[in-house]
């Protein structure tokens, strides 16, 4: 049995410019703790190797202090590390790719005997476990999968790929298709570049994004993690290990027909660990401006102890009184038709929320056209002819 720890997209040293300097520093420290926690998991699980599939650092502008801390964690672990640099970009923004100023060109890496860095299309073989690890750095408009012959002595073949999985006709700087995954021939394909844990297996080949060890943004995994890969007797098992300490939470609330107190109570009830939560509250629906402003104020008062709070009310629209639009007029019929359709939507699921948002937006934009405040050209509609 062979066990491998799969990490990617740590983005250590990220500035987190939307936070105060104190909170940004805390989050950067949490990133490093998540890395250390993941390596600790690897030690306890007795892994044969640790894979880092791109973006260990947020950019190549890495301080000597941070680089030293990371290398100390690697060195003292005693575990072989296989590191694939991030996608190459001219600005190196959000990536630690290869190039003249790459962090992987620094001499201090030469002092680490347990690190292999993929600077070209290469295969590294690990006697302990009979594992061959294959990868090639990612460059725009270049193949992302390694195409090297399989190592003759290896029992297990693992590929590393920093890319975006897409369908054949989709366009991306670093595309990887499902057909390529199915044909790659690896026992396991470790993916990086996307920050959410996802399974993109195809054609019998297990292929996973591990997600970030410490989450970096909303709409990703709620908490960061790593993947523990077990290879045994021709089978491959993928398990999740939680490594992050902060939770990025998005709460969406329809404020229509709710009091400000009810809205604030609904948001507060969903937060279980406020001091370690970055909370984004998305308000939508219809309300008079005074009520939704009061709701925002109450939310901030109720949740003044969250690590970070962000409220988005861009989808809130003013309430429309149908009495202002007489029956029999185009505007009157339009308002009542749309309001009836909105009222008929029942449920809090994502699809219903999206339908309600579309109808509310259509009600206000259509009414604006009927009242001469907008033109059809302003709507930027896409006309599809039969």
Q: Same domain for 194 and 289?
A: no
Q: Same domain for 316 and 215?
A: no
Q: Same domain for 203 and 315?
A: no
Q: Same domain for 98 and 213?
A: yes
User: Counting every residue, how long is the chain?
Assistant: 386
CATH number at 120 reads 3.60.21.10
53, part of any domain: yes
Q: Same domain for 341 and 204?
A: no
Q: Same domain for 91 and 207?
A: yes
Q: If residue 343 lies in a helix (H) or strand (E), which one and from where to where?
A: helix 330-344
The residue whose two tokens read 């009091």 is 259
Give me the torsion for CA of 170, 172, 175, 178, rounded to 10°: -30
Which domain does 6 fall in, by range? 2-242
Q: Same domain for 230 and 326?
A: no
Q: For residue range 239-278, list pLDDT tens digits in order.
A: 999 999 999 999 999 898 889 999 999 999 999 999 999 9
351, part of any domain: yes
Q: Same domain for 182 and 263?
A: no
Q: Same domain for 76 and 138?
A: yes
CB atoms within 10 A of CB 380: 6
384, part of any domain: no
Q: Same domain for 238 and 265?
A: no
The answer to whether 85 touches 102, Cβ cutoff 8 Å, is yes
Q: Same domain for 134 and 9?
A: yes
Output the six-digit token pair for 57: 């650092």
Give the predicted TM-score (pTM) of the model: 0.86
29, part of any domain: yes
Helix (H, G, I), strand (E, B) or coil at 312: strand
Q: Of 242, 263, 295, which residue sits at a domain end?
A: 242
**Residues 6 or more apart from 132 whose CB is under 8 A from it?**
123, 124, 125, 126, 150, 151, 154, 156, 157, 158
258, part of any domain: yes
386, part of any domain: no
Tell me whether strands 49-53 and 2-7 are parallel, antiparallel or unpaired. parallel
303, part of any domain: yes
Q: What gap in Å lies between CA 69 and CA 71, rounded to an integer?
A: 6
Tell me whether strands 81-84 and 49-53 are parallel, antiparallel or unpaired. parallel
Q: Same domain for 220 and 338?
A: no
Rg (CA), the chain: 26
Count of domains forming the chain: 2
Q: For residue range 50-106, list pLDDT tens digits in order.
A: 999 999 999 899 999 999 999 999 999 999 999 999 875 434 445 666 777 889 999
**Residues 6 or more apart from 317 whose CB is under 8 A from it?**
285, 286, 360, 361, 363, 364
Q: Of 207, 242, 277, which residue sits at a domain end?
A: 242
Q: Of 212, 242, 272, which residue sits at a domain end?
A: 242
Per-residue pLDDT of the chain (386 residues; tens, 9 = 90+): 999 999 999 999 999 999 999 999 999 999 999 999 999 999 999 999 999 999 999 989 999 999 999 999 999 999 999 999 987 543 444 566 677 788 999 999 999 999 999 999 999 999 888 999 999 998 777 788 988 999 999 999 999 999 999 876 666 678 899 999 999 999 999 999 999 999 999 999 999 999 999 999 997 767 899 999 999 888 999 999 999 999 999 999 989 888 999 999 999 999 999 999 999 999 988 888 888 899 999 999 999 999 999 999 988 888 888 999 999 999 999 999 999 998 898 887 878 888 888 888 888 888 888 888 877 777 665 555 45
14, part of any domain: yes
């Amino acid at each position: 049995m062979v066990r491998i720890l799969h990490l990617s997209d740590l983005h250590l040293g990220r500035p987190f410019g939307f936070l105060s300097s104190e909170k940004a520093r805390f989050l950067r420290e949490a990133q490093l703790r998540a890395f250390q926690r993941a390596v600790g998991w690897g030690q306890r699980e007795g892994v044969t190797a640790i894979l880092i599939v791109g973006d260990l650092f947020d950019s190549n502008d890495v301080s000597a202090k941070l680089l030293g801390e990371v290398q100390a964690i690697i060195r003292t672990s005693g575990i072989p590390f296989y590191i694939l640099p991030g996608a190459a970009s001219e600005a190196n923004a959000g990536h630690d790719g290869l190039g003249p100023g790459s962090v992987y060109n620094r001499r201090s890496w030469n002092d680490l005997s347990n690190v292999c860095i993929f600077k070209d299309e290469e295969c590294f073989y690990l006697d302990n476990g009979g594992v061959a690890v294959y990868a090639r750095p990612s460059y725009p408009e270049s193949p992302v999968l390694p195409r090297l012959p399989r190592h003759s002595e290896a029992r297990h073949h693992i590929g590393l790929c920093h890319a975006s999985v897409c369908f054949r006709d989709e366009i991306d700087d670093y595309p990887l298709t499902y057909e390529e995954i199915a044909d790659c021939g690896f026992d396991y394909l470790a993916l990086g570049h996307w920050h959410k844990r996802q399974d993109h297996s195809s054609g019998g080949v297990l292929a996973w994004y591990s997600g970030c060890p410490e989450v970096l943004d909303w709409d990703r995994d709620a908490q960061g993690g790593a993947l523990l890969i077990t290879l045994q007797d021709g089978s491959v098992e993928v398990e999740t290990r939680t490594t992050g300490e902060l939770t990025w939470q998005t709460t969406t609330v329809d404020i229509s027909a709710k009091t400000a107190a009810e809205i604030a109570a609904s948001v507060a009830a969903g937060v279980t660990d406020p001091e370690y939560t970055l909370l984004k509250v998305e308000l939508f629906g219809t309300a008079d401006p005074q009520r939704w402003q009061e709701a925002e104020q109450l939310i901030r008062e109720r949740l003044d102890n969250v690590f970070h709070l962000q409220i988005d009310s861009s989808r809130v629209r003013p309430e429309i009184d149908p009495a202002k639009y007489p029956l029999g007029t185009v505007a009157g019929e339009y308002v009542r038709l749309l309001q009836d359709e909105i009222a008929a939507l029942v449920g809090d699921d994502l699809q219903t929320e999206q339908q309600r948002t579309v109808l509310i937006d259509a009600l206000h934009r259509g009414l604006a056209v009927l009242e001469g405040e907008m033109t059809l050209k302003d709507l930027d509609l896409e006309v599809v002819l039969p």
